[in-house]
């Protein structure tokens, strides 16, 4: 019986071969997954009408391309999440993204995509296929998420996430109540950034403000 995860991994790899070399040949699939597994699954994918094989060259069918596009999208959105928000690197990062793509559904991907401001490229610089959420965000000009340090004075924003490796600055932010969900106004930017929320006013170093990702809720 065909293992769906294995099929998804292969579709993903075919996509990457096409992206890098302009075409995918069956021997490359063999090099990556082993000759036997590659042959079994290529036959399987042809039967399922996900790919066509002609003279060792693999081409997606319409359905296969759609499926591969979704896997690539999930993988690259996962990369952004793991890299930007969770600050994972190396082995943990690579494995995490590949596991993630097999178990999340489109709804979760759309929420994460929105949270991240509909990123267009992954941390490696590869294009992320767009989803419905990205298209409707463009239409409605939904404000994207950006670092607090780039927002002009006078704007009201909502904290979406905090991205920092430094536990000291994370502790400082939580200590003063700057946590995801907080709505605040940028009172002043120079000479130092002053934030206002409720009755509270506080100064924030630009170094720390860089790590606070917000969405503008009122211009």
Question: Per CB under 5 A, which region of 34-42, 71-79, 146-154, 208-216 contacts Zn ion?
Answer: 71-79
173 close to 210: Cβ distance less than 8 angstroms = no
Residues 6+ apart with CB under 8 A from 165: 87
Instruction: Find, among 48, 134, 126, 54, the residue nearest to 83 by Cα.
Output: 126
Residue number with CB closer to Zn ion (12 or 204) = 12
Instruction: Examine residue 67 and tell whether it contacts Zn ion (CB under 5 A).
Output: no
Instruction: Examine residue 139 and tell whether it contacts Zn ion (CB under 5 A).
Output: no
Instruction: Examine residue 16 and tell whether it contacts Zn ion (CB under 5 A).
Output: no
Instruction: Examine residue 112 and tell whether it contacts Zn ion (CB under 5 A).
Output: no
Residues 6+ apart with CB under 8 A from 82: 88, 93, 96, 97, 100
Instruction: Examine residue 10 and tell whether it contacts Zn ion (CB under 5 A).
Output: no
Residues 6+ apart with CB under 8 A from 206: 149, 192, 193
Would strands 212-218 and 200-204 be described as parallel, antiparallel, or unpaired?
unpaired
Q: What does the block give as tokens for 125?
A: 């610089």
Residue number with CB closer to Zn ion (126 or 164) = 126
Q: How far is the CB of 113 from Zn ion (least distance, A)?
A: 3
Count Cβ atoms below 10 Å from residue 189 Cβ, excluding itself: 15
Q: How far is the CB of 40 from Zn ion (least distance, A)?
A: 19
Binders of Zn ion among residues 119 to 138 (CB under 5 A) are 122, 124, 126, 131, 133-134
Binding residue (CB under 5 A) for Zn ion from 7, 113, 151, 157: 113
Residues at the site binding Zn ion, with contacts judged by CB under 5 A:
12, 75, 79, 98, 113, 118, 122, 124, 126, 131, 133-134
């Amino acid at each position: 019986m065909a293992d769906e995860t294995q099929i998804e991994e292969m579709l993903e790899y075919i996509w990457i071969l096409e992206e890098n070399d302009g075409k995918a040949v069956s021997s490359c699939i063999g090099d990556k997954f082993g000759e036997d597994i590659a042959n079994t699954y290529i036959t399987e994918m042809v039967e399922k009408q996900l790919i066509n094989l002609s003279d060792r060259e693999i081409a997606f069918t319409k359905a296969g391309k759609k499926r591969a596009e979704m896997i690539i999208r999930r993988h690259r959105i996962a990369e952004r999440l793991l890299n930007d928000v969770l600050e994972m690197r190396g082995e943990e990062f690579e494995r995490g993204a590949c596991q993630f793509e097999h178990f999340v559904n489109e709804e979760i991907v759309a929420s994460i995509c929105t949270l991240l401001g509909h990123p267009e490229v992954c941390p490696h610089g590869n294009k992320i296929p767009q989803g419905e959420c990205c298209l409707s965000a463009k239409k409605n000009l939904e404000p994207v998420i950006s670092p607090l340090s780039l927002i002009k004075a006078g704007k009201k924003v909502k904290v979406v996430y905090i991205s920092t490796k430094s536990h000291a600055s994370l502790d400082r932010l939580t200590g003063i109540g700057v946590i995801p969900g907080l709505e605040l106004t940028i009172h002043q930017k120079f000479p130092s950034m002053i934030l206002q929320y409720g009755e509270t006013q506080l100064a924030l170093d630009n170094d720390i403000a860089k790590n606070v990702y917000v969405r503008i809720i009122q211009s």
